[in-house]
Structure 1
Amino acid sequence: MKSRNPYELLRTKEIIAILDGDTDYGTYEFEDGTSIKVAMPYLSGTTICEVAKLFGLPIQYSNMSRWQYFDELIEYCLQKKIFSNLLTYLFAKERFSKVLSGYSFNEINTAYNHIISIVKDKINGILLFGGNELAIVGNQYVIRAIDSQISIQVPMIKTIDREYIKSISSRAMDDVEQHNFDSAITKSRTLLEEVFCYVIEKRKENPSENGDMIRLFKQVKSLYNMHTDQNTDRRINTLLSGLHSIVVAIAEMRNKDSDAHGVGANRISIDEYHARLFVNSAMTMADFILSVEIKANSNI
């Protein structure tokens, strides 16, 4: 008898309702008296379709229910054996940027960890009687038999292409239009980090330190020989040397002015045209790095 994929255990309406944000477990209150729901981020039908495209499934938004879209995405990820990647994506702190924007660094981390702990515990309450659990192994979320040991190393996102870059950039620009500059900055910074990690993994290497933009860029430059040289036109070399400045600026802006770190002493205010420049710079940089990877690896 063929063994059942353990991730199929999550393919129930009860658990899907948790993962797509339909089910909440009360509220979490901050010190200033404000509160948020203890729940996964709410995923609209359109958002689920966008997530599906990110993982390689081109779902067109029509008139299906959100549960149907999500179930189709689960089925696809089960077939491609990338369901752990989907879980890791859904539980990532970046997904909570809308509800946690505006709070301090410590408040964001505390609230995020509280929500994840509650949600994971509720899912495990459903899985318990089958002898399985949702666990965190490294940076990945996996389903495993209770008390078993699993070691995995897989990329969070299987494929990054220009359509993905355009999609994220478009969503970031939508945030700019709505004056949600914090979210736009976070999306842009995350896009660059994902592209860096992706092209590094395409060289069959592990990212030096996920989250450190400057180290990741240095690794990309080394792996793809992106150093200026005398045989390259001076104007091209000038452009290439400017890439480092872009990465440094984006990395520092994320630390000082994004929704990942909330309001602090070093936080600065930006105008809409600054936010547009930020998003467009990140998109241009991401597209260029992807082009470098495509050219280099097509010659292997």
Structure 2
Amino acid sequence: MDFEKYKLLKNKKIAEILDGDETFGDFESTTANSYFGFSNLKIGLPRLSGPEICDIAKMFGSTLEYDGKNSRWQYMFDLIDYGIQSERIDNILAYLFDDSNFVRNVNGLNKDEFKKFHSKSVESALERINAILHFGGNKLIIDSKRVRIVPINSSTPKISVKNVKTIDRDYIKSLSDRAIDNVENGYYDSALTQARTILEETFDYVLEKRNIEPSSKGDINKLYKQVKDEYKMHENKNADKRINRLLSGLENIVSAVSEMRNKNSDSHGVGERRLTIDKHHARLAVNSATTMADFILSVEKKFDGYTDY
């Protein structure tokens, strides 16, 4: 891949799109009496502060530090430079466009509205970036799990927002860290939504690695059963009973996180079935989901013959 092409993104106007400075109008929410009281949002990528841009760089292995001396678009330039140098720029861009980068800014939207907001924001940002790149004969596309710069005359695959990311331990840790931040700040509902996201995206990923279409969208228990069947994770009668007890405990994690999320998270309105959750319970849910996701990634690696899982 020609990573030098990504230097075309070192344009102040493009950087201001990527860091969320430029927006594309209001997104009207039809959710009545949303829990956090949002009525509309600005369409566009999430607004990233200088420290947040540096944190994203660190998530991908950079040592970029925030010193407060530069504008946000300049820190975005530094992030782009690091991505090119490390040959991870396509994955860094994928993260910026990914729905996990939007979670902290959209409390109060229901699941369907969040999808619409995310899709509209990504499409609008790409359209604006490509209007700038157009004069040089290039365009930015989301292709499978990467964001690529290609010549305008090349065919553009259908944008698949869901498939822009590669799930690995660094990615899971980034989601987990954001969820724990929400716990510490008292946003337990958002933390529960992120705990479920950690599990669901991991399950989807390991199935797609086997070229299997994840089924039963919205039912995470059925999705986990699909993973168990494909990776032969059923209890082994010949295995130590303590190992089997650990494996059986995994199902309890899935069921508990799913149930807590359904009854308590910010994906649903306030109602009579809403549960009261304490800080340590929210933290337990996030840490449990993170531990399980790490285990599932290891199962996938071992299944494919890796020894460093």
TM tier, smaller? 0.7 to 0.9
Distance 1:226 1:110, change over 3 A: closer
User: Which residue of 2 is the match for residue 175 of structure 1?
Assistant: 182
Contiguous gaps of at least 5 residues in structure 1: none
Hey, what's the Cα distance between the residues in 2 that align with 1:236 and 1:4?
Answer: 45
Alignment of 1:212-291 (within 5 A): 213-214=220-221, 217-218=224-225, 220-221=227-228, 225-254=232-261, 257-259=264-266, 261-263=267-269, 268-272=274-278, 273-290=280-297
* Alignment TM-score, normalising by the size of structure 1: 0.78
1:297 paired residue among 297, 300, 306: 306
Distance 1:138 1:158, change over 3 A: closer
Name the SS of the counterpart of 1:144 in structure 2: strand
* Alignment TM-score, normalising by the size of structure 2: 0.76
Which residue identity does 2:98 align to in structure 1?
A
1:191–1:286 CA contact under 8 A, matched in 2? yes
Shifted more, 273-282 versus 185-194: the winner is 185-194
Hey, what's the Cα distance between the residues in 2 that align with 1:140 and 1:270?
Answer: 40
Name the SS of the counterpart of 2:199 in structure 1: helix
Which residue identity does 2:151 align to in structure 1?
A
- Does 2:99 match 1:93? yes
- Does 2:30 match 1:25? no
- Does 2:12 match 1:13? yes
Hey, what's the Cα distance between the residues in 2 that align with 1:119 and 1:165?
Answer: 25
Hey, what's the Cα distance between the residues in 2 that align with 1:128 and 1:68?
Answer: 23
Shifted more, 64-73 versus 126-135: the winner is 64-73
Which residue identity does 2:243 align to in structure 1?
I
- 1:123 deviates by 1.4
Which residue identity does 1:54 align to in structure 2?
M
Contiguous gaps of at least 5 residues in structure 2: 33-37
2:90–2:146 CA contact under 8 A, matched in 1? yes
Distance 1:34 1:217, change over 3 A: closer
Distance 1:76 1:219, change over 3 A: farther
- 1:193 deviates by 4.1
User: Which residue of 1 is the match for residue 214 of structure 2?
Assistant: 209
Which residue identity does 1:274 align to in structure 2?
H
Hey, what's the Cα distance between the residues in 2 that align with 1:119 and 1:83?
Answer: 17
Hey, what's the Cα distance between the residues in 1 that align with 2:67 and 2:229?
Answer: 45
CA RMSD of aligned residues (A): 3.7
Distance 1:241 1:13, change over 3 A: same
2:62 paired residue among 51, 57, 61: 57
- After superposition, give the CA deviation of every residue in 1:32-89 in whole Å (9 maximum; x if it has no partner): 6922222211112232233223323343444453334322221232234433322222
Hey, what's the Cα distance between the residues in 1 that align with 2:229 and 2:273?
Answer: 33
Report % sequence identity. 43
Name the SS of the counterpart of 2:249 in structure 1: helix
1:185–1:279 CA contact under 8 A, matched in 2? yes
Name the SS of the counterpart of 2:21 in structure 1: coil
- 1:126 deviates by 0.9
- Does 2:105 match 1:128? no
User: Which residue of 2 is the match for residue 142 of structure 1?
Assistant: 148
1:228–1:237 CA contact under 8 A, matched in 2? yes
- Does 2:47 match 1:42? yes
2:144–2:164 CA contact under 8 A, matched in 1? no
User: Which residue of 1 is the match for residue 166 of structure 2?
Assistant: 157
Q: Give the length in aligned residue pairs.
A: 293
1:101–1:262 CA contact under 8 A, matched in 2? no
